[in-house]
A and B are shown apart, each in its own frame.
Chain A
Amino acid sequence: MTSSVVQGRARLIALVTATVVVSAVALAMMIFYAPTDRVQGVVQRIFYFHVPMAWVAYLAFFVVLVCSVGYLWRRDLRWDAMARASAEIGVLFTTLVLITGSLWAKPIWNTWWTWDARLTSTLVLWFIYVAYLMLRAYTPDLERAARFSAVLGIVGFIDVPIIHFSVEWWRTLHPEPVVVRPDPQAPPEMLVTLAVSLVAMTLVYATFLVLRTALERTRDENREREQRRALEEASYA
């Protein structure tokens, strides 16, 4: 084994260990440290994973944006591999945000779903990146798929600021941000628990991104080898 492979494996083990430890701390704080909301009761604790997952979804699609620009600029498939990886992880987190949001909405708003600006724009985001994954899956030529999806990855990100500001631009059922609001501000125990949960979820994303990018790179390598072998066999025939 080369030293770079050993170093890479050691870094991955360190990342996975940090993810598990911080996630365990976040879970313990969510249950034992964070105070129970006076109005919503225990169900408000969904906040500690619903909000971090939404943040990670934004981050994942921002990485898609950066890598898509990187690919169009450099035409290097390593950028594209990371964009592909991040898009899939972003869709996973957006799906979980929509489901946990719905499970929070039912006891608080008395509805599983409402066509509110924040919820609708988040659903649109989910559709955009599902379309991104479908575009990749159904375009056989890798270079063309990379080019088309890079454009979609850049244009699709426009929805992220729309989601973020939707609660300020339109009158919505979804609450406005509680973290940066000066008054009434959430208790410090809630904010600290949210901060630890944000770190935990970001580490989960980083672990997924490393593994998923490694998968894409291995697949690209295999595809290249298979194509070379097919060409060699055709030239012998």
Chain B
Amino acid sequence: MNESSAARWRRQATPDASDPFVSVGFLIAAGATTVIGLVGYTVMLVERLASARARREELQTADRDSQRTE
């Protein structure tokens, strides 16, 4: 019996976990997602912290200036 096109598509779309290339591919994809997520979040966190601290400096300077004016 001829294989239907849907069945053929399903078979071709099914990754073969016993194939080392497929297995390594999924492992690398998961590892890369994790690294990008964690490193990206670290960079974002450090940037946000630096900008909040710069703002704090700005406000402290403005407070000191206004006290001196008074």
Chain A positions near chain B (C-beta within 8 angstroms): 40-43, 45-46, 49-50, 53, 92, 95-96, 99-100, 103-104, 106-108, 110, 204, 208, 211-212, 214-215, 218-219, 221-222, 225-226, 229, 232
Chain A contact residues: helix, strand, loop or mixed: helix
Interface of B (DSSP majority class): helix
Given contacts A208-B45, A218-B56, A219-B52, is CB(A106)–CB(B26) below 8 Å? yes
Q: List 29 A-B contacts (CB under 8 A).
A: A41-B20, A42-B20, A43-B26, A45-B27, A46-B26, A46-B30, A49-B34, A50-B30, A96-B37, A99-B30, A99-B33, A104-B26, A107-B17, A107-B22, A107-B23, A110-B15, A208-B45, A211-B46, A211-B49, A212-B45, A215-B45, A215-B52, A218-B49, A218-B53, A219-B52, A222-B56, A225-B56, A225-B59, A229-B62
Q: Which residues of B contact A107 (CB under 8 A)?
A: 15-17, 22-23, 26
What separation, in Å, do the CA atoms of A50 and B37 have in the docked complex? 13
A100 to B31, CA, bound (A): 8
